[in-house]
Amino acid sequence: MKNKVAYLGAGTWGSALACLLAENGHDVKVWDRDLDLIKILDEKRKHPKLKDFEISKDIKYLSSLEDVLEDCDVIVESVTSSGIRPVFQKIKEIKKDLCPVIITSKGLEQKTGLLFPEIFLDIFSEEEKEKVGCISGPSHAEEVIKKLPTSVVCSAYNKKLMHDIALLFNSENFRVYPNADILGVSFGGALKNIIAIACGISDGLSFGDNTKAALMTRGLHEMRKLSPSKGCNPQTLNGLSGLGDLCVTCLSSLSRNYRFGRLIAEGFSLEDAKIKIGMVVEGAYTCVSARELGMKYDVALPITEAIYRILYEGLSPHEAVKALFQRAIKEEHL
């Protein structure tokens, strides 16, 4: 079935998924708050950060959010953590007859500690709960656009919508597994970015594979410990949206969070490292809200705390790793 898709966000991830949807036969219109980017994409069919990839001519790029949302069957978003609430508020103002909204961004909102499906409910109310879903998992945009085999997870509060999302995105090279735990799927995608920064720092300090393996394993443990505070099933984090996404983000130089961590280890400041990356580093944003959640629910998050102190309190990366390995030994609980 052909759908009219309103795609909000034209970054690398948004561009990769918009092209996938167009190739699946859907009518795709794209909006981004960066109007210069929209103009470039419309005229040149090349993304500044994906220069070897030509964007489908079937995709329409529009500068007006109202025009993109008009008569759409489904809304897909790929905006930043800090931008998702304003975008949802705009949708509420414009789209009086709300259609399904699919979240593809990953993060935790600062101050509130809300996952993105929870932000949706905060703005649209529980009455619209059946209309929100998400997609998450190990999926670099640079590999999706090359049609390299990729597996992800989709979820929704409504079972039918969950399976509709799978059908919408599923393709020969992009496999979508339904999972009913929408908060768990969202949580895994958010928290893994913090651990990726830690792994980037570790590699930047030449600590080796042993250290990185420890950070990833204990990082997953932190994620599982904190997940019940958001009503998640900890077992969800053993799947693609947790362990899978953790692996791809911590082990690949394509990961902006990993590369950001390496820059921090090399002596770059928080702001200079962000500028060097040239894209939003969601882990730097999310570690603030994850730390706040840990404090609120009295859950120890030593890796998250270390990353927070490195980024926002000036702790030396060397001292942070040293402190982690000097923590009291406890029995491993899985």
Look at phi and psi of residue 302 and say left if phi exceeds 0, alpha if psi is from -120 to 50, else beta: alpha
Whose CA is closest to 186, among 250, 121, 280?
121
**Contact predicate 113/293, CB 8 Å:** yes
d(CA 317, CA 310): 6
Question: Is residue 230 classed as helix, strand or coil in its secondary structure?
Answer: helix
Residue of 29, 131, 192, 212 with catalytic role: 192
**Contact predicate 143/252, CB 8 Å:** no
d(CA 188, CA 268): 28
| Lookup: tokens for 39 | 């103009």
CA distances from 135 to 181, 215, 314 (A): 11, 26, 35
192 part of the active site: yes
Q: Where are the alpha helices (DSSP H) in 5-83?
A: 12-23, 35-44, 65-69
Question: Is residue 208 classed as helix, strand or coil in its secondary structure?
Answer: helix
d(CA 135, CA 241): 9
Q: Which residues are catalytic?
A: 192
